Amino acid sequence: MNEFRDCILGTGLIHLPVQGELFSWHNCSEGDRSLWKRLDRLLVNDAWLRLWPNSHYQCLNARTSDHSPLVLRGDTDNHTVSMFRFDNYLTMSSEFIPLVQNVWRHRIEVHQCHASTTSQDPMVKRGDQCSRIFFRKVAMRRASKRVFQIINEDGHTLTTQEDVVNEFVSFYQRLLGGDRRREFIDLRYLRPWARHVLTQEESQALVQSVTREEIKDAFFDIAEDKAPGPDGYSSGFYKAAWPVIGEEMIKAILEFFTTGRLLKQVNTTILALIPKVRAPSTVSDFRPISCCNVLYKVITKIIVQRLRLVLDKLISPSQNAFVPGRSIGDNILLAQELFAGYNRQGLPMRCALKVDLRKAYDTVEWDFLSAVLQMFGFPGTFIGWVEECVTTPMFSVCINGNPHGFFKGSRGLRQGDPMSPFLFVLIMEVLQLMLLQLIDQNEGFSFHWRCKELGLFQLCFADDLLLFCKADVASVRVLDTGWTSSPNCPGYMPIHKRVSLFSPVQHRMSGNNYLQHYISRRVTFPSGWESIQLSFAGRLQLIKSVLMSLNVYWAMAFILPKGVIREVEKKMRTFLWKGNSAVGYPKVAWSVVCKPIEEGGQGIRDILALNKALMSRHLWNVIQNNQSSIWVKWIAHTRLRHKSVWTVDVKGGSWGWRKILRLRSALLPYIEFKIGDGESFSLWHDPWHSLGSLITRFPRGPGRTNIPEAAKLSATLFYGEVAVFLKAVYDIFRNHGPKVGWYSLLLGPCKIPRNVIEEFFSSMRPSSTIARIVVDERQKIISIDLPDSRPGTRTSSGLGFYPPIHFTYRTRRSSEHHGSDTTLAPVLCRPRLTVHEQYFDDVSDDLIYRYGSCASCIESTGSVL
């Protein structure tokens, strides 16, 4: 099987996209023994996709065989012209600024238009220097994202392009469009249960004059690679042309914040459809992401920057998503604590309900949103800004790369709008206030075990809810049906939901199941031709920048089992050295690869050390008694109970809490205590003294000194910023090694990944690696003579001795060799190559040295510097 897979990879074959049913084989069994698999596929190459870009195959229903027939479909006609998209590489041309200046001088009227570009543009030809892997990736993505058929609500399969387009447009027009419902809603009755209502000073700060610096910072804060809106211009265009267009952009933004009116064309939106499943078959299998114009994003980013200033005061601790200064990992940790023991007998009855709000963003009523802002005390001017942005969009649906339809929205928040997550958090807070009101008014409700002291009944994960209560009918009825049937807001909340009930049953996966779930769902690697086209440096960069970031999310919320860590590192190690091939073996120990570059590694973070460092952040919050964290509050009330985190017993807590406590000994030597006025710091339990915790050194100290065990001292703990803290703690847990001398030589322009990789290999195997430093690209050969070890030349950086390496230059067309005086200068493992001056003119163009690959890195000095 491995040989067959390597054959497919070696030939560069690509899986053709499938439409409709994904699985093609059935074992002809029923019930629990029924099994479906995807065994049959169609494989093509990139030349096929260039000729037939719309080709795909359909898996039909099986009849007499256990395999389903596959039908190849598609044609060569694209039927449409792609939308205009500004390419950021155009900004690097010397003609860009003069062209913008020339066009910007002419006054043009704003009108609706659709622009297009063709490949005949000379700028496109000059910028079209992408590699083969890029074009293959583009062709494959285009083929996989195209929609050729869809199943409508009646169960009929639509196959014509016109029917598919009409189905998508009509679906989203019903969901987002139609006539806007206008009714007066007053939610101020919820203010007694609100955590905070804005004061007059806070309201004035929200509507103060917008400065020119705010506008420019908002423009330059948008990444160039973000998807553009319907006008096709990315933020890269605005940044590059800022000297020409910046002043008018500032005037346009200031006009909005002065008048509160937004130009209709600015708020047009393209709905990009992202598949939620591998083989989408219905419209609901796609997630609509709104692509807004850059000018609109700048306006909403300015509003968001002001909204963030007060969000922490308004939102209760049970909501942590999108709230500055909070971590959603706290909710995950607390959920683990509350679920602990659900499989044990003899504990109090308790249950949890998981509520999944379906189409939560898309079904928010705008009048309800306005009432939410009024309830929290937002000023009228600020509410007007938000309403103008939210209530004036025009939508088009992007299907197969082109927009279709043009309709006005009547409800919903747009996914892709910078303002939407923060507005939705406010809406979810109102939902919690409604539940809290119902709980206070219903005497039959009972809190979940260990939640009454904090009044905890809900944990919010963006648009997902976990509701907790005692396992009795009255309590469950309040949470499940109370807020959906409230007469105060019928139809104004996204009440379409899916509810799952968790009761005291076996809740923990077995080790193998958990491992399989984590590996298969969370850590994926490029496959097929992608892994073959990637070089070692490309695979290394992919692991460091993309795959490691996937691990960070889970590493900050869970103590990962060692089996999971070993399996993830095994997959990363295999992908780094072999790609997806079954042939090959790791060249260097993984522990060496995970060292920092300055210590001779490649800078991949050790997952175990990273996991401990990220989880130490939660321990640090407990030490600081961070009251903004609902998890810290729960730990203080339930696990500590007036004890110190330094002396509390490890036994008796949940598995995750015990693992966190075991990090104390490693963290303690790096914490500095500054004694304050003696109000909140434990004299006996906290390790403020060099002796450590006094109660452990002097168990009878409180009695003999007549100082109560509960005596306090006030303390301020400091370690700088959070990023500095995490880096320092990671250095505590990782393996350390001596710094290598060649790292100091890679400073400046020569510090590029290729240089680092070459030096890394050179330090592992000097002779075999240095022999590959010189690369032939113009049919010329540099013959390398590696003599026996003998005294060489010590470098000024103290890298050690290397035997001189003699290079002999010749061409393929001639067997002529130079004499003994043609020996090039000795080469050391460093980012510069020195050659004799007499051969510089002949060799410099053909001698491709991996460290820099430019003539400036080759010095004709005749000696090693």
Instruction: Name the pairing type of β-strands 70-73 and 56-59.
Output: antiparallel
Q: What is the pLDDT of residue 549?
A: 73
| pLDDT digits 0-9 by tens, 424-452 | 999 999 989 988 988 988 888 999 999 99
Instruction: Read off the pLDDT band of 738 (50, 70, 90).
Output: confident
Q: What is the pLDDT of residue 141?
A: 64
Instruction: Read off the pLDDT band of 848 (50, 70, 90).
Output: very low
**What tokens does 119 get?**
């490949």
pLDDT higher at 134 or 842: 134
pLDDT above 70 for 166 = yes
pLDDT higher at 456 or 852: 456
pLDDT above 60 for 797 = no
pLDDT above 60 for 840 = no
pLDDT above 70 for 532 = no
Q: What is the pLDDT of residue 648?
A: 85
pLDDT higher at 396 or 534: 396
Provide mean pLDDT across the span 625-648.
86
**What tokens does 656 get?**
């995750």
pLDDT above 80 for 612 = yes
Domain extents in the chain: 2-73, 85-105+126-176+204-303+379-410, 183-195+315-365+411-508, 511-605, 741-859
User: Which contiguous run of DSSP H or E holds residue 372?
Assistant: helix 366-375
Cβ atoms of 420 and 412 within 8 Å: the answer is: no
For domain 183-195+315-365+411-508, the question of CATH label 3.30.2390 is answered with: no
Q: Lowest mean pLDDT: which of 455-459, 740-744, 851-855?
A: 851-855
Q: What is the pLDDT of residue 707?
A: 55
Cβ atoms of 249 and 220 within 8 Å: the answer is: no
Provide mean pLDDT across the span 613-631.
86
Cβ atoms of 353 and 502 within 8 Å: the answer is: yes
pLDDT above 80 for 716 = no
pLDDT above 50 for 774 = no
Q: What is the pLDDT of residue 414?
A: 93
What one-character DSSP code corresponds to residue 676?
-
**What tokens does 139 get?**
């062709």
Provide mean pLDDT across the span 155-163.
86
Instruction: Read off the pLDDT band of 809 (50, 70, 90).
Output: very low
Q: What is the pLDDT of residue 833?
A: 35
* Nearest in space to 177 (alpha carbons), one of 452, 341, 363, 451: 363
pLDDT higher at 341 or 412: 412
pLDDT higher at 504 or 699: 699
Any idea which residue has 């440096």 for tokens? 537
Q: Mean pLDDT in the chain?
A: 73
Instruction: Read off the pLDDT band of 482 (50, 70, 90).
Output: low
Q: What is the pLDDT of residue 517?
A: 60
E strands, 14-68, in order: 14-15, 18-20, 25-26, 36-37, 43-44, 56-59
- How many other CB atoms are there within 10 angstroms of residue 440's CB atom? 12
CA distance 634 to 529: 50
- How many other CB atoms are there within 10 angstroms of residue 481's CB atom? 11
Report percent pLDDT > 70 for the chain: 65
Q: What angle do CA 626, 628, 629 make, to 5 degrees?
A: 75
Q: What is the pLDDT of residue 10?
A: 67
Q: Which residues contact 274 (CB under 8 A, 6 or more apart)?
A: 286, 287, 288, 289
pLDDT above 90 for 297 = yes
